[in-house]
Amino acid sequence: MTTFTLRPVDPVADGPTLHAWVTHPKSHFWQMADCDVEQVQQAYAEIRDNPSHEAFLGLFDGDPAFLVERYDPAGDPVGKAYAVQHGDVGMHVLVAPTDTPVPGFTREVFATIMDWLFEDPAVARVVVEPDADNHAVHALNAWAGFSVRERVSLPDKDALLSFCTRADHSASAARRGAAA
């Protein structure tokens, strides 16, 4: 099994790496394609300074491999689209774009993130709001145990509001080791 580590994003030091990722054509759902390095650094400085939002760089063998954001849905536009419950945590994930994908790597990243989120006993359910047209992530979410509640309009996109409880994730294909 692949081993990953997570550390907080350093907006200045990690800015060039994150810029390369979020502006890559494969990352168009991240909605930062037109940002320059300074704008990416500023965006992640704002996340760092926001008490209800955190960004982490995921490392594989010490090298940056993915980005995960963990946030309080009550302080996010998605929190206006549903009744936020105690124990909800929001999540965004971006696996580094590559021209040479490794089969199963994204699933391992996603399973690692979900396990990491649920390590916190205060987390009862993970909330995601992927773009309604991001079919690849919908399949990954289902594999990890997410259920779509409804399509919602957010300020920057139409999204599929989806939830995954600790029990949902435990019973998921991700925990059983099944392929997506």
Q: Count of residues for the chain?
A: 180
Burial category of 124 from C-beta neighbours within 10 Å (exposed 0-12, middle 13-18, buried 19 and up): middle
Question: Strands 157-165 and 147-154, how do they pair?
Answer: antiparallel
Strand partners, 15: none
Q: What is the pTM of this model?
A: 0.91
Q: Check residue 171 and give its pLDDT.
A: 86
Q: Do 67 and 18 meet the contact criterion of CB atoms below 8 Å apart?
A: yes
pLDDT in tens, the chain (180 residues): 558 999 999 999 999 999 999 999 888 888 899 999 999 999 999 999 999 999 999 999 999 999 999 999 999 999 999 999 999 999 999 999 998 889 999 999 999 999 999 999 999 999 999 999 999 999 999 999 999 999 999 988 999 999 999 999 988 877 766 554
Domains and their CATH numbers in the chain: 4-176 (3.40.630.30)
Count of Cβ atoms closer than 10 Å to residue 33 Cβ: 12
